[in-house]
Amino acid sequence: MSDNKPSDPTSDPAQSVPEGAIETKQIISAESGPAAPVPDAVKEAAQERPQAAAAQPQPAAAGGFKAADDSAPWPQTWKLIAARFRALSDKAGRRMMQRTLKIGISARIFHPEEGAKGLRGRTLQYLEESIAQWVMSRNVLVFMIPTVNTNGLVHPSSIRLRDYAKHLDGLVLQGGADVSPQSYAQAATRPEWGGDRVRDMYELELLHEFIEAGKPVLGICRGCQLINVAFGGTLYQDIATDVPTSIKHVNDEYDRLHHAIQFPPGSSLATLFNAHGGEQSEWVVNSIHHQAVRDLGRDLTVEAISGSDNIVEAIRYRKASFVMGLQWHPEFHRAGGPQLLDCTPILDGFLRAARETRF
């Protein structure tokens, strides 16, 4: 038992220590017996508490609290979130731009022959090999787009042509049968020029859906004529009959028949090919058509004409980023020899528009 008397609180030198330090001292005394001298570290901590208290949020004029440090955590957090979002968006954009393009090509239709057996007695939809290979030469995926029938009794489906326009990046309208005069409100002047009304209705809808979706369209031969009809234009049902002074645009030589074309000054094709090959007045293309654009449809411009008879050889729709029709077959040009127009720049322009509008 110690002979020392308990310290008198009123006379203890620690009386001047702040309240927090006194509480610490009293806890120590209660557990250990008589009060021990207060450690210097405790004294220093007690002296710092008023300064820490001064750093606490002070009441703002509007009744809230205002942080003494202006660098609050929320602005920094939002900056980090925004930076992360931009990084993810840029990454997604790069992936989208690098994704292989998916190009749809309209189907040719073989209608059943009366009394025929086997495949000739069935409806066939097919893709001409050369057009597919020409488009794929730029390392893109090609899909033939079949006709759709939501009212089919055997195999009903809810798939529509609009779904193809939504998921594909562009459309090529391939060549084939004549456009029916019924599609531009005329009657066929000869039975053999009646055309394919069924295919017209299918491709007109397909063209409409891709334009509505903001996707590029390239029409080849019949496809060029169909674009003109879609916008209210008409056709020569037979060039040789309707334009007696014209040159031959089709004969038994098929893709070996060639003629010269010209690009009107100011046309996009004139600008494109002058940039690639210098100033030139004429280019040579194949000629495999007995029908052609007659009255130009609304909002269309002429991009090329036949050099000697002024038959329209290419058109463009002005109110879209890329809707163009070529009367010749660019897919046959490389095989036709070096003298034929290299149409790769046209294909590249079409695919560039597909990349830019895929979003």
Residue 282 has pLDDT above 60, yes or no: yes
Question: Any idea what the CATH number is for the domain that residue 143 is in?
Answer: 3.40.50.880
Is 266 a domain residue?
yes
Q: Hey, what amino acid is at 272? A: L
Is 52 a domain residue?
no
Q: What is the pLDDT of residues 25-84, one digit of tens each?
A: 443 333 444 444 545 544 444 454 444 444 444 444 444 444 445 556 777 778 778 777
**Which strands sit side by side in the sheet containing 258-262, from one edge to the other?**
141-145, 102-106, 170-173, 217-220, 323-326, 312-317, 300-306, 258-262, 283-286
Average pLDDT score over the chain: 82
- From 303, 329, 333, 343, active-site residue: 329
Helices (runs of H) and strands (runs of E) counted in the chain? 11, 15
> What's the pLDDT band for 90 if we cut at 50, 70, 90?
low
Is 70 a domain residue?
no
Distances (CA, A) of 130 to 123, 125, 127, 133, 200: 22, 16, 9, 5, 22
Residues 6+ apart with CB under 8 A from 3: none
Is 249 a domain residue?
yes
Reduced to 3 states (helix: H, G, I; strand: E, B; else coil), residue 39 is coil
Structural domain boundaries enclosing 348: 93-357
> What's the pLDDT band for 5 if we cut at 50, 70, 90?
very low
Which pLDDT belongs to residue 320? 96
Is 205 a domain residue?
yes
Which pLDDT belongs to residue 242? 97
Determine whether 203 is an active site residue: no
Determine whether 167 is an active site residue: no
> What's the pLDDT band for 17 if we cut at 50, 70, 90?
very low
How much is the pTM?
A: 0.73
Q: Are 269 and 312 in contact (CB under 8 A)?
A: no
- From 203, 209, 303, 331, active-site residue: 331
Is 19 a domain residue?
no
Is 119 a domain residue?
yes
Quote the number of domains for the chain: 1
- From 209, 221, 249, 333, active-site residue: 221
Which pLDDT belongs to residue 97? 56
Reduced to 3 states (helix: H, G, I; strand: E, B; else coil), residue 131 is helix
Burial (Cβ within 10 Å: 0-12, 13-18, ≥19) of residue 168: buried
Is 47 a domain residue?
no
Determine whether 329 is an active site residue: yes
